[in-house]
Structure 1
Amino acid sequence: MPQLDTSTWLINILSMLFTLLVIFQLKTLTHQYPYNPQLTSLKQKKQKTPWEMKWTKTYLPLS
């Protein structure tokens, strides 16, 4: 019965871990994270609309 050759297992395992690390780094590199999440406010800012700045007249439909 032949013996199992385990001499290359270490190289295979290390190369697999290195490859997984590189893939993980490349995947996380594409994401953009905020620099400081504590500074972002959760309040919605009120946007000015054009009709709030001037007086508009409402007309009734023609009869």
Structure 2
Amino acid sequence: MPQLDTSTWALTIISMIITLFYFFQKKMMSYYYYNINSQLKPMKTPKHLTPWEKKWTKTYSPLS
């Protein structure tokens, strides 16, 4: 049975780690990149009317 050649494993693992580190850094740089000179726009929150805000409802206390 032939013996498994493990002489290139160290090079393969090191190059894989470097490549993953590079792509991870590239992804993080593009993810957290933002325009420094941009102005924040004020957000307008819409008022949602619920059914109980449209009419007056009477609350009854439990009988004692």
TM-score (norm 2): 0.48
TM-score (norm 1): 0.49
